[in-house]
Amino acid sequence: MNKKIEIIDLKTIKYKDAFEYQEKLFLKKIETKGENKINNNHLLFCEHPHVYTLGKSGVENNLLINEKFLNKIDATFVKTNRGGDITYHGYGQLVIYPIFDLANFSILIKKYIFQIEEVIIRTLLEYSIKGERLDNAAGIWLTDRKIPEKICALGVRVSRGITMHGLAFNINTNLDYFKHINPCGFQDKGITSLEKELGHKINIDEIKNYVKKYFNKVFMV
């Protein structure tokens, strides 16, 4: 059992390049697990250039624009193998990819999802913001308003107890890009960011430090 979490900051990186990087770690962990060796745990941080990603259970019609308009707004569209529907990644959004061996933490998928959500909930409390879970709607939401607004999306893949994909936390994100999709398939909910809630831009390195802190606290239990 190895609960140590190694942080890798990929900075700004194309979605496909980040996918290949995390998949390499993911497949190596599966191989190591087959050899009955103890795996390391990696936590990747990055930002992506404008991209819409569709999960394996998603509906392509939730992308509301065509390829010509994608080019106009300097965005791409990628189908991927995580769970969930469509979401947006872009500058000012902290994307978090835990590549963990759940056996190291003696937890199953349901508990893992609860714990990564808990990391974001505790991080938001540092800014006096109450993030909440919603039934049948993955991610972290702010509910003290007419309709719930998502501040952090969640989509994961788990195979043989190894995780990939993860969280997209809106920090200084340009929320206009969400107007071109039904985020995560919902038409009756909204999107927000930390910048929108606080009224000023946030130092993303400060957020990374809080996320590191709470991943260690939550997963070291």
**Which residues are catalytic, by number?**
184
User: What is the 8-class DSSP label of residue 73?
Assistant: T
Could you tell me whether strands 190-191 and 93-99 are parallel, antiparallel, or unpaired per DSSP bridges? Answer: unpaired
Are residues 96 and 104 in contact, defined by beta-carbon separation less than 8 angstroms? no
Helix 204-219 with 109-125: angle, nearest 10 deg: 140
Positive or negative: CA dihedral 68, 69, 70, 73? positive
Per the DSSP assignment, residues forming a β-bridge with 52 are 77, 88
Residue type, 198: L
Are residues 30 and 159 in contact, defined by beta-carbon separation less than 8 angstroms? yes
- Three-state SS at 163: strand
- Please work out, in degrees rounded to the nearest 5, the angle formed at the alpha carbon of residue 37 by the alpha carbons of 31 and 41: 80
Q: How many CB atoms lie within 10 A of CB 109?
A: 13
Q: How many CB atoms lie within 10 A of CB 158?
A: 17
Residue with tokens 């998603």: 58
